[in-house]
Amino acid sequence: MLEPAGRLAGPPEAADLRGRLYAIAAGCCFGTLGIFSTLYYNHGGDPYSLLVFRTIGGGLGLILISLARRPQPPPLRLAALAALLGLSQLVGSAFLLIGFQHAAAGLVELLFYVYPLLVTVLASLFLSEEMGPRKLALLILGIVGIGLTVGGPGAPTAIGIIAGLGAAVFVAIYIIGVRYVMTSGMAPTEVLATGWGVAAITMSLAAVVHNPVAPTSANVPYLVGVIVIATICAALLLYSAVGLAGAGAAARLATVEPLVTILLGYIVLGQQITALQLVGGALIVVSVAALATIRR
C-alpha cells in the first residue's frame, strides 16, 4: 500500500528512496496517457469526451480507494483546500487541451514541462526544500532533453504559449498545494479523492450542458487504460512520492514521462524516432538517474 503523508515507514533514507522510485514509476504511468488517448481518438473518441470520462472515472476510482482505507474525516479547512486544488488540476488539463488545438503539440508540451522548474522554485520558497546548483543544473539538462524529445515547437501562437505556460503554472500550484495539505495531516488518497471528486462533479455538470460522445466497444479498453493506468495509478504514485521525497524531487524525477511516451509511440503506434529524439531521451535518462542519487 502506498505511504500516508506525514508518516515515513522505516528509516528516512529508505522512505526517500521509495518516494523517488514512486516518482519514476508515476512518470512511466503518465507516459501512457498520450498513447491511450491516441488509440481512443483513432477509434472514434474526441478530446472533450475523454476529459469528461477521465475526470469522472478517475474521481470515482480515487474516492473508492480512499473509502477502502477508512480515513478519518479531515479538518474542513484542509478539505476545502484540497477541493480547490482539484479545480486547479482540472484547469491545467483544460489549458493543455486548448493549447493542443491552437499550437503545435511540441510547443505546448515543451512549455508545459517548465512545471518541474516551477515546483522546485516554489518548494524552496514555501516548503523549505533545498534547491542547490547541482539539482538546478540537472533539471535544466532534463528540460533540454525534453525539448529535443518532443521535437520542434512549430509556429508559435499567443494562445498556444499562454495555454502551455498556464497548464504548467496550475499543475505546479497543485503539486505544491498537495504537498502542503499532506504535511498538515491528510494522506495522499484523501487529498486526491477530495480534489478529483470535486473535479468529477464539475465535469458531470459540464456533461449535462454539453453531452460527450459515448464510448464504443472499440475504444473502451483504451479509455480504461487512461483512467486506471494514466490517471489513478499515476496520481497515487506521484503524490505518494511527493509526500515521501518532496515536491521538487517528485516533479523532477517524473520528467521521464515524455521519454516513455516516445518509446511507446514507437512500439505501439509505429511512430518514427529521430536522432535528436534519441539524444534528448539520453539527456532525460542521465538527468533523472543523477537526480535519483541526490539525497535530501
Write out the residue range of the structural domain in which residue 78 sits. Answer: 12-292
Rounded Cα–Cα distance for residues 225 and 230 (Å): 7
Q: 143 in a domain, yes or no?
A: yes
- Per-residue pLDDT tens digits for 162-187: 888 888 899 889 888 888 888 888 88
Higher pLDDT, 261 or 208: 208
Residue 4 lies in a domain: no
- At 294, the pLDDT band (50, 70, 90 cuts) reads low
User: Is 48 inside any structural domain?
Assistant: yes
**Any domain includes 268:** yes
For the chain, the domain total comes to 1
Residues 6 or more apart in contact with residue 7 via CB below 8 angstroms: none
The full DSSP string for 56-88 is HHHHHHHHHHHHHT-PPPPPHHHHHHHHHHHHH
- What pLDDT does 6 receive? 43
Query: Is 2 a domain residue?
Result: no
Residue 1 belongs to some domain of the structure: no
- Whether residue 4 is predicted with pLDDT greater than 60 in this model: the reply is no
Inside any domain, residue 6: no
CA distances in angstroms from 110 to 148, 150, 160, listed in the order given: 9, 7, 11
Summarised one tens digit per residue, pLDDT across range 224-266 is 999 999 999 999 999 889 888 888 888 888 878 878 888 888 8
CB 70 within 8 A of CB 142: no
3 part of a folded domain: no
